[in-house]
Every structure is written in C-alpha cells, then in structure tokens.
Structure 1
Amino acid sequence: MITAVGLAGYAVLVGVTVPPRLARARWAHRAPGLAVLAWQGLMATFVVAGALSVYHLAMTDHHVHDGLAGLFAACALGADDPSAGEHLPAVGEALVIAAPLVVVLLPAGSLAGYAWRARRARDRQLDLLALVGEPAPEYGATIVDHGVPAVYCLGGRRAHVVVTRGAVDVLTEEQLRAVLEHERAHVEGRHHVVKMLVDAFSYAFRGLPLARHAKEQTYLLLEMVADDRALRHHSRDALATAMYEVAAGRAPQAALGASGSDVVVRLRRVLTPHPRPHRAAWLGIVLASVTAPVLPLLVTCG
C-alpha cells in the first residue's frame, strides 16, 4: 500500500505540480529541443507511474510482494505450468490485472486514432495539392494560387512544403527561403509525430494540467526548434519579416505552419536572442527527463 501511495504521489507531482513550473521556465525558450524532451519525459513518467500505482493498489493481496515480476507472472499464469487449469485467475483477478493496462492503453488507443485521422487529413490535402498545386523545384515546394501569404508543410512519407502565391509575391528571395527552411525543419525533424503524441496524451488525459501545458508548450517549442534551424542559414531580420508577413495565413489542420497565435512570442525571441543553457544544466535536464520514467520501474522491481 505504501508503494502504491508513493507512486500515486509521484504521478500527481508529475501531472499536476511540475507542468506549470516547467511552462514558466526561462531556459525552455533558450533550448526548445531540450524542453520538448522534458515534456515527453513528463508524459511518459505520468503513464508509467499511474499504471504501476494502480497495479500496486489493486494487487495488494496478490502479487505486490513480488514487484514487477508479480505482474508478469500474473499475466503469464499457466504458460509453463501443466496444472495451470487448476490455478487460473478468477474474473475479478483478471480485471485487477487489466486495470493498470488501461492506463497504458488509453493514450495508446488515442494515439492510434489520431494517427489514422491525421493520415486521412494529409492524404486529402495531398490529393487537393495534386489538382491545384504548381510544383516549384527551385524552392523544393508546391505553390498554391491563393492571395493570402501562407507557408506550411505536410509531414509523413509524402511530405510537402506548400507556399501560396501571396507569399511568393510579398516576400523577398531571402525571406522566402528562410521561411521554407523553417518548414523543412518540421519535415526532417518529423515534428508531426511529436504533435500526434502530445495530441493523443492531451485527449486521453484531458483535464490534467500536464496534458494542457504539454500540448500548448510543445506546439510553441516545435516552432522555435524550426526557427533555430532557419537561423543557421538566414538572417534574423529575414526570418522575422517573413514570419510577420505570413502571420495572417492559416495552415490546414493536418499541417504545421509558420504562422499561428504564438508568432509574437517567437518574433521577440528571434529578434532578441539569449544564450543557451550551460552544458551542466543541459546534461542535468537530459538526465532528469530520461530517468524520471524509469524511477517507478525501479521502485516496483525493488
């Protein structure tokens, strides 16, 4: 029982207490890729700690004294025992064993649903682009005849970067290439996969502070990661001007775009750069993000 309470407290700490503080952390905007890792680590930690706390609470009278091996033994009861028929768990025990699996399968099922819907939406957009889009090999993009300046990308196996005619007309060559580099960063970084993960978690655990903050912050941080990639090859003024010009454009639901409600925050960051966190702090955050999901397993195995 003590272990179950401890794991539940750990899940509450990760799911309720830590997220607002991480959302306000100053270092996150200085190292957005590292912050994305931290949010992913918190989500994994919540799922692992939540599932194991339910297991310990439910199996107090059965296998909890055996640690994690008790769960495996309960799930595989009879696999190697010829007399297994005499020891099959009752329906109640089977439901108890299934309880922690629900905590894991809930976000997994949500992820599968989101992946299926996202793929259908991308396929519809790609079919539409095949009809109305004009290939632009010199930019590595597809141009759509639309007056509102907009630039966005569709991830996946048939990834496309899309730019409207309005954006081509209003942006200079350097500005256009800067914002296109931003979109290629999304594609090459497979940011649509990270977006699906956080969407699935947010849907499965809606109402949880971690779910809300993780979604909001990950969306913003992925854009910052792409901004940093563009700044490796283009000036800050070019990227900032391009972001301002395409701010009014809206990307399809299945796409990642350079515009959005967070443009003001990103513009301020692009124009007023700050130093990255110290290497020691960087290593500490990586270590914490990686080990946090493992701690509940170590407690259970112990």
Structure 2
Amino acid sequence: MNATPVLVGYTAVVGLVAPHLILRARWPHRAPALAAAVWQALTVAFSIGAALTAYHLALPAEHLHAGVLGLLHSCGLNIGAGSPDPAIAHRLAVVLPGSVGVALAGSFFFHVVRARLTRARHREAVDLVGRRSARLSATVLPYDVPAAYCLPGRHPRVVISDAAVRELTTEQLTAVLEHEQAHISGRHHLALAAAEAFHSVFRRLPLARHTREQTALLLEMIADDRALRGHSDEALATAMYEMAAARTPKGAFAAGGHTVLIRLKRVLGPRKAPHPAVWAAVAAAAVAVPMLPLLVACPPGLG
C-alpha cells in the first residue's frame, strides 16, 4: 500500500480540521491540563506526519516518478543525466524529514534562550528596584496599580506591586501568589516555548496559530485551578478583576492580562469536570494521534 496519500490526508486533517473541532468543543475549559496536552499532541502528530510524508515522497520506489526527485526530473530540473538517481532520492529521503525536526528543535531552542535572556534582564531590574518579602515569598515593586506576575526559569521570581499588597485582602493576595507559583512549579514557560516554536515553523497553519493562543489561555486556567484548591472563587475572581488593567512584561505570566474576561466567566460559573469516559477517551486519543502516522508508514508485520 502506498502510504503517501494516507499520510498527506492525515496531516491535513490534523493541521486544518482538528483545531476547529477542539475550538467548538465544551470540554477543554473544563479540563485545561488535558486540553493543553491535546494541543501539544496535535503539533507532535503534525510534525511526524509532515516528516514522514516528505520521507515517502523522496524515497525511491518501483516508479520513481511518484516521488519528489521524479517530479523535479519531469519538470526539467535534472539532477544528473538520464533518469532519476536512486542514490540522490535516498539522500533526499533523509534530508527532507530531517529538516523538519531540525527546524522545530532550532526554533524551540531559540525561543527558550530568547525568553530566558529577556527574563534575566527584567529580573535584574526587579531585584534593584523592588524589595524582597520573606512573608510573601515574592518581590514587591513600587507600582500604584495592583499587579502580580512571575518570571519562571532557573532563578524564578514572583513579583507583586505594593498597590496589590495594600488593596487586596489576605485571601485574595494568597490566591494570586499561588496562581503565580503554579506557573513556576509547572514549568509552563517550556510548554509556551514549544507552542511558539511550532508557530514559527508553520506560521500559516491554523493548528499553529490556535495552539499558540489556546496554550497561553489554558496555562492560565491551570494556574487558576491551582489557586482555587485552597481559596474561594470570589477571592480569586476579585483579585483578577483588580489586576485586569496591569501591564505584563514580556516573558512573564500574570494573574491579570487580556484573558481575564474569559477566565472570570469560568471561575465564577459552574465548573463541572468532564465525564470520566470523555476524559479517558480524549486522553487515549492524545496518546494515539501522534502514533498513527508511524503505524501507517511502518505497519506491523511488514519487513
């Protein structure tokens, strides 16, 4: 069986159709951690599908005109004299899929390093201007607007404005601080860097655009849920509302921000977890989706 048409169709469905199906579903905001994992699984599945498609297009087969080398040859771009050279096709079969992996790995490394340098510069400024509070386990900045954010990474900081310390109640303040600690302990900056890296490589792809947007939103919801474990909905919602207008430095996670309205509706509304059967089915799909192109390309039992 020629796996190329199946891989092309599968990759197209993952990159074009699946994002719209998830956006129309109700369960992602009720299980943000699972939803974030599904978005990441789709990016892995698309990357594997794209790499394997490139491999099969370049791989020499019984009819070389079906591959990339044959296409170039038929268009007059002869790489060498005569008919397509299988040795060149073999090299293309390694280079083309390998370039997908190299591009993604390089993009991820770039985003991680760039964000780390940005946070390091801001952390130095925060340490100079702010004062360390052992009681809050945070750095307090002189700022007349209630605000809170964290700088994750190797040397994390939770930063809060003195206006927030003055105006928020003890419970509200503690809920906000736990929200920020959730970003740090969960290493959310790495998940966001992965989404940014995929978007940089496949910028025009709907999956890339939606993964970046939804990952940022879902990570905030995950941190909200962490804060809600020990604090009331009203305490967190009020704190989020008070900090909605605060500006967030680049590379930081903030309890406020442009996603506040969506998150406020979620915090104050009914939050019913998905049915266990739905949760299990989605989790199984998240694991299976990246494996399917491998099974298509390398079916078991075929030597």
- Normalization by structure 2: what TM-score? 0.88
**Cα distance in 2 for residues equivalent to 1:296 and 1:108:** 20
Q: 1:227 and 2:224 equivalent?
A: yes
| Residue 293 of structure 1 pairs with residue 286 of structure 2 | no
The answer to whether structure 1 residue 155 and structure 2 residue 152 are counterparts is yes
Q: Give the 3-state SS of the residue equivalent to 1:28 in structure 2.
A: coil
Q: Does 1:245 align with 2:253?
A: no
- Tell me which residue corresponds to 1:275: 272
Show the counterpart of 2:136: 139
**Alpha carbon RMSD of aligned pairs, Å?**
1.8
Give the 3-state SS of the residue equivalent to 1:142 in structure 2: strand
Match of 1:204 among 193, 201, 204: 201
Alignment partner, residue 86 of structure 1: none
Q: Secondary structure at the match of 2:28?
A: helix
- Alpha-carbon separation, structure 2, partners of 1:182 and 1:243: 10
Encode CA deviations 1:60-88: one digit per residue, 9 max, x unaligned.
428x9xxxxxxxxxxxxxxxxxxxxxxxx
Structure 1 residue 144: Cα displacement: 0.8
What amino acid does structure 2 have at the position aligned with 1:224?
A: M
Residues 1:258 and 2:250 aligned together: no
Which residue number in structure 2 is paired with residue 213 of structure 1? 210
C-alpha distance in 1 between matches for 2:94 and 2:182 = 43
CA distance in structure 2 between the aligned counterparts of 1:24 and 1:134, rounded to whole angstroms: 45
Name 1:59's counterpart in structure 2: 59
Is the counterpart of residue 8 in structure 1 residue 43 in structure 2? no
Residue 27 of structure 2 aligns with which residue? 27
**Structure 1 stretches (4+) deviating beyond 6 angstroms?**
none
Measured in 1, the distance between the counterparts of 2:23 and 2:60 equals 36
Q: How many residue pairs are counted as aligned between the two chains?
A: 279
Q: Deviations over 1:103-147 (max 9, x none)?
A: 222211110110110111111111112211210111111101111
Between the aligned partners of 2:112 and 2:52, the Cα distance in structure 1 is 26
Match of 1:119 among 116, 121, 127: 116
CA distance in 2 between partners of 1:195 and 1:109 (Å) = 15
Give a deviation string over 1:200-232, Cα, whole Å, max 9, x none.
111111010000111111111111111111000
What corresponds to 1:83 in structure 2?
none
The answer (yes or no) to whether the contact 2:240–2:260 under 8 Å persists in 1 is yes
Structure 1 counterpart of 2:291, which letter?
V
How does 1:164-203 map onto structure 2 within 5 Å?
164-203=161-200
2:51 counterpart of 1:47? no
- Worse overlay, 91-100 or 209-218: 91-100
> Distance between the aligned counterparts of 1:266 and 1:298, measured in 2?
39
1:294 partner letter: M
**Identity, % of aligned positions:** 49
Q: Which runs of 5+ in 2 are unaligned?
A: 65-85
In structure 2, give the amino acid aligned to 1:45: A
**What is residue 71 of structure 1 aligned with on the other side?**
none
Give the deviation of 1:167 after TM superposition.
1.4
170-179 or 39-48, which deviates more: 170-179
What code does the residue aligned with 1:202 have? Answer: H
Unaligned 5+ segments in structure 1 are 65-88
Q: Tell me how far apart the structure 2 counterparts of residues 129 and 155 of structure 1 sit (CA, whole Å).
A: 14
Read off the aligned partner of 2:230 and give its amino acid letter. H
Partner residue in 1 for 2:91: 94
With 170-179 and 231-240 compared, the bigger mean Cα shift is at 170-179
Amino acid at match of 2:102: L
Deviation of the 1:90 alpha carbon: 4.4
User: 1:2: Cα distance to partner?
Assistant: 2.9
Cα 1:95–1:40 shift into 2, 3 Å = same
Residue of structure 1 equivalent to 2:83: none
- TM-score, with length taken from structure 1: 0.89
Amino acid paired to 2:104: P
Aligned match of 1:130:
127
Task: Tell me the distance in 2 between the aligned counterparts of 1:11 and 1:102.
Answer: 17
